[in-house]
Amino acid sequence: MRTDAPRGPEVWIRGPVAAAPAPRPAPASPSTVRRFSWVGTHGGSGASTLAAVYGGQDCGRDWPGPADPPSVLLVARTHATGLARVVHALKVFRRGQVPAGLDLDAVVLVADAPGRLPRPLAQQVRRIESVIDVYRVPWVPAWRLGELGGRPPRETQDLIRLTSTVR
């Protein structure tokens, strides 16, 4: 046996091996918070309101430009026309007919009225949810009056987490 050979770590280990500790995420700062471009799929979708409440870039009904965040959140109301426009926009993304470099992160559906959705609309929402992440925003009477201050609805906690994650 050679005694001058370099010695390495022991190859055979008995018993469980402790996993290495996971790296700690860096604390979020205003410059590291993930930003999104809110893109309305139709007029009156609520993209401007959502950008004001949750942060990010309001692109109106246009695709984000070079200076805008490339992460896209498509916005629509939950009425028949709004859901149809979301389906159309998803097809446009799937075909690659959007500016290069854009990433479709999710669809955000804003309630078009208080209360539950009629069955045909709820079925359409389920079809959309089968192909992409969907975040739902309930009817907020204060937003209708232009009162955008205060806390977002508690039903939107998942959307709050999405729009405030560190990139």
DSSP class per residue in 26-75: PPP-TTTB---EEEESSTTSSHHHHHHHH-SEE-TTSPP-TTS-SEEEEE
One-letter amino acid for residue 45 of the chain: S
Chain centre to alpha carbon of residue 77: 16
Residue 13 lies in a domain: no
Beta bridge partners of residue 57, listed in sequence order = 37
Domain ranges, residue 140: 37-162
Q: Is residue 140 part of a domain?
A: yes
Residue 167 has pLDDT above 60, yes or no: no
Question: 8 and 137 in contact (C-beta within 8 Å)?
Answer: no
User: Rounded mean pLDDT of 107-121?
Assistant: 96
Q: How confident is the model at residue 38 (pLDDT cuts 50, 70, 90)?
A: very high
> In the predicted model, is pLDDT for residue 62 greater than 90?
yes
In a domain? residue 7: no
Quick one: what percent of the chain has pLDDT higher than 70? 78
31 occurs within a structural domain:
no
Domain presence at residue 17: no
Q: How far is the C-alpha of 111 from the C-alpha of 119, rounded, in Å?
A: 14
Q: List, for residues 119-159, the tens digit of each pLDDT value.
A: 999 999 999 999 999 999 999 999 989 999 888 999 999 99
Is 49 within the bounds of a domain? yes
Separation of alpha carbons 1 and 146, rounded Å: 83
Asked whether residue 6 is assigned to any structural domain, the reply reads no
Look at the chain and report how many structural domains it folds into.
1
pLDDT of residue 10: 42
* Mean pLDDT of the chain, nearest integer: 84
Strand partners, 37: 57, 72
The predicted structure's pLDDT at residue 15: 42
- DSSP class of residue 27 equals P
Domain-embedded: residue 86: yes
